[in-house]
Structure 1
Amino acid sequence: MAAGSFGDEASTARAPGFAKRVLVTGGAGFIASHVVVSLVEKYPNYMVINLDKLDYCASLKNLEIISEKQNYKFIQGDICEPSFIKALFDTEKIDVVLHFAAQTYVDLSFWRKLEFNYVNVYGTYVLVGAAYEANVEKFIYVSTDEVYGGSCDKEFDESSPKQPTNPYAASKAAAECFVQYYWEKYQFPVVITRCSNVYGPHQFPEKVIPKFISLLQQNRKCCIHGLGLQRRNFLYASDVAEAFLTVMKKGHPGEIYNIGTNFEMSITQLAKELIHLIKNTSSEAETEYWMDYVKDRPTNDLGYPMDSEKMHSLGWRPKVSWNEGIKKTIEWYQENFHNWKNAEKALEPFPVAEESV
C-alpha cells in the first residue's frame, strides 16, 4: 500500500488481522525511514502508517523496499495542521505514535529560528494533543542529545538539566516540555528518547558524515567548521532503529531514555578517516590537502557524552562496528546521492538562507 488518503473508504476502516496500528511521523526522512522498514518487516501483524509532508530532506526512495507491503501505508501531510491531524487519528485508529518529524539541521536553525519553533514545538503540541484525545496507548517523542548542551568529559544521564545552546536544541527541549506535561497532568503514556549522532544510508547530505563522503566522492574537500575539535558519538542507523523498536515494546511510560554509544571521534579525525577510505591516502600531506577549514558556526558544542544504562536495562546495545557501518554508508552514497532533488546545495559549508527571527 504505497500511498493513500485517510479519507478513502478502504483506508478508514481498521484492517482486519492487524494487532496494532503504528503511526510514524517523518517516516520518509533519515532515521524514521529505517524505523518504518524495520517495523514493516519485523511486525507483519502491525499496520505501519508513515506520515510525512515530504520536505527537502525526505525521499520516498528510502522506503521502496517496503512500499508495496500490505501492512504499510504512506500519507502525505503536515503535523502543524490541527484539523488534518485530528481527522487522521479519528480515521486511522492509531495505537502507537513514534514522532520523528522535525526540522533538524543545526546550522540552518540559526537562520530560521521561527520555522524550527513552529515545526518542532507547535507541531509536537498539535500531535501530542491529538494523540491524547484519541487515547493512544503509547506516544514516543524523539528528542536529541543536544538538549543537554555541550560537555568535554562528564556524561549526561536522563536527569541532567537541559541547557540547549542552539535554536534547534532549544526547540527540541521546549517540545519535550509539552510532551512531559501530558504525563504529569494526565498520566498519558509518553516516552522521550534522546539520541546520539546517527549515520548511515538515507541521510540528507547536509549532515557531516554524508556531506564529507559526498564531497570526497566528487573530488571536493571536506569543509571543517572551526578547528574541528568537536567530538561526536556516532551510532549506525540499524542500531538506532532497533533501539526505537525496543522502546516501543519495553519503554516505561513517563520515562526518558538516552540512546547513545561510547564510540566517539573528533570532526577532524572523522575527515581524516573518510579521506583515507575514499581517497586511499598514504601521507599526512596528502590527507591535509583534502581538508578545508572554514569559520565556525555561532555555537558548536564540544561533545554530548551520554550514559545509556537505562536503555541497556531494556536489553538494547549497539551492535554495528564503526568499520562495518562506515563502509556500508560510503557504498550507499556512491549510488544514491541524487535521491533528493537539491542534494548538491547541501554540500556548501553553510546553508544559504536569510536571517529570520
Structure 2
Amino acid sequence: MNRVHRLRKYLDRCGYYPYIISDISNIYYLSGFTGSTAFIIFTENQNYFLTDGRYEVQSKEEVVDDFEVKVIEDYKEAFKGFLSGYRKVWLEPSGGIRLLISLQNLNLDVDVCDEDKVRLLRMIKDEDEIRLIQDVYKVAEIAFLNSLESFSYSEKENIWAAQLEYNMKVAGAKRTSFDTIIASGFRGALPHGVASNKVINKNEPVIVDYGCKVNYCSDITRVIYNGKDNYVLKIVEIVKSALMFAKENIRAGIKCNEIDKIARDYIDSKGYGKFFKHGLGHGVGIDVHELPALNKRDETILEEGMVLTIEPGIYFDGEFGIRLEDTVIVKKDGCETLNSLLKDYIYKI
C-alpha cells in the first residue's frame, strides 16, 4: 500500500474530508514534489495537488500519479472553488495560521486535527527512503573527511564551518540540514553552539555537529582533539560508552524513553548525570528533527524502519563539552549504523 493509500485509509476511518496539507515536508513525502510552495487537498473522491505557475513544469515531472495536478493563479480563489459545497474542512496540525485564517475568511468551519498523521507515517522509512538517507550520509561523511585536510588551528570556528559546508556542496548536498555547529573549548559546553568568531586553539576539544540535505537529511557529530588531557579523554570514553550501550539495546519493541534511560543511567553512574542536558536523540528523515524522540517523556515503541540519532553528551559550563553521534536504523533484533565511513569518534588534524 503506497503512502497516499495509507493516509486515505486513515481519513476514511475518521471522516476527515476535505483534508488540507500545507507542510512542505509532508507534501514531498506524499507527492515527490521538491518545490517550496504547494497544497494538497483530499476530498472524498479526489486527491488534488495545487501549485502555481512557477512550478508548472516541475510539478508535472515530480508529482506522483495519485494526484490531479492543478496549476493555479490565485490560491484564495482556488480554495474557494475546490471547497465550494463544504461547510467544514480539516487541517493537519503543522498547517500555518495564515492558511487557517484564510479558510475561515471563506466562511468555513476549520478544525485542526489532534495528530499529524503524515508525520506519524513518516516515522517508518521504506527501502527507498533508507537508500536516500544512506546516500546523504555518505555525502556528509566524505565532506568531513575532506575537510580534515583543510582545517587548521588558530582559525575561527566560522572558517571551519564554511569549509565543511563547501565540501558538502561539492559532494552533492543541496544545503545544510541545520546551522553547522563548530564549538571549541568553552563553547563546547553549548549543546547548540553554532559556529562563531572564536579562534580554535590546538589543545582544546572541538565539537563538530553538522549535516546536509539532498531531499533527506543527515546529522553527525564528531570531536576533533589533539590534546592529551586525561580528564577530557575520560569524558570522551564515558560519552562513547553511553552511545555504544544505547545502540546495543535498540531494537523493535523497546520504548524510546527506555533507550534514553540506558544512556542517561550510565552517564549518571559515572557521576556526570547532571551534565547530560538534552534528550538522547530523535528521528531523522525529510526533516532533520522528526518523530519519535529519544527522551524521558516519549513512550513510543520502536518499530523496524525507524531512523534515529543517538547523541549523548556531557557539558561543563565555561570549560568544554563532548558529544558524539551516530544514526541507526531500527531492526527486529537490533539496529544498523547508517554513518559507515567515519569509523572513529575522535579525530586529530
TM-score by length of structure 2 reads 0.29
- The structure carrying a bigger strand percent of its residues is 2
TM-score, with structure 1 as normaliser: 0.28
Q: Considering only CA atoms, is the larger Rg found in Structure 1 or Structure 2?
A: 2
Higher relative contact order, structure no. (Cα contacts within 8 Å, ≥ 6 residues apart): 1
